[in-house]
Structure 1
Amino acid sequence: MTVGGRKPWARFAGDEGPSLREFVGALCVIRTGWVDIRFGQAEVRAADGSTALVQVRQYEGEELALGSTGLLYAYEEDQGFFWVTPFDPGLDPAPPEPGR
């Protein structure tokens, strides 16, 4: 995604900025009242600690609403949005023990 030939967050992250593909697999927080196949936005945090507001879409299923946690699982580069699915932190496996 570029604006005027530059990525919109380039002023914060140098000339290149993070690649949107880097957000695949990241958790996000829904910032719109709902997400469906045509509409939705979410806030995601980059590895450098900066945040970005990205376009998200979801097939029918469990509802994603304002403040919900989602998982970005694919990026549609030609259309500029991420596929998102609800994420339940309680289902996240424990981190591996050191040395394993």
Structure 2
Amino acid sequence: MARAATTADAFNAVAEPRRREILDVLAAGERPVNDLVRLLGLTQPQVSKHLRVLREVGAVDVRDEGRQRLYRLNGHALKPIHDWVKKYERTWSERFDRLDAVLLELKDEES
């Protein structure tokens, strides 16, 4: 089975851990490439490659400011991931609530 291109959608783009790290850093605000290089301990070509993929799926935007290119998170492009995970959030919340009830029962039985 052929693997989907990393630039096909946000799901494929964020499957790579380094790209998720970049998104984590950009969630705090705009950053130039050199900041990302320093913070993540990657080389400039590696960061640029990951930023290109993230730009192609719309997860990051870039703007020029003088001689610098500043990158920022575009959360709207990550909404499909949020929507997909949200379906499972209810299930996990219900399971944790049931677990809490069982733990309370066990605690009451001990007392």
Give the TM bin, normalised by the shorter chain.
Answer: under 0.3
User: TM-score normalised to the size of structure 1?
Assistant: 0.28
User: TM-score normalised to the size of structure 2?
Assistant: 0.26
Larger strand proportion of the pair:
1
The structure whose Rg is larger is 2
Larger helix proportion of the pair:
2
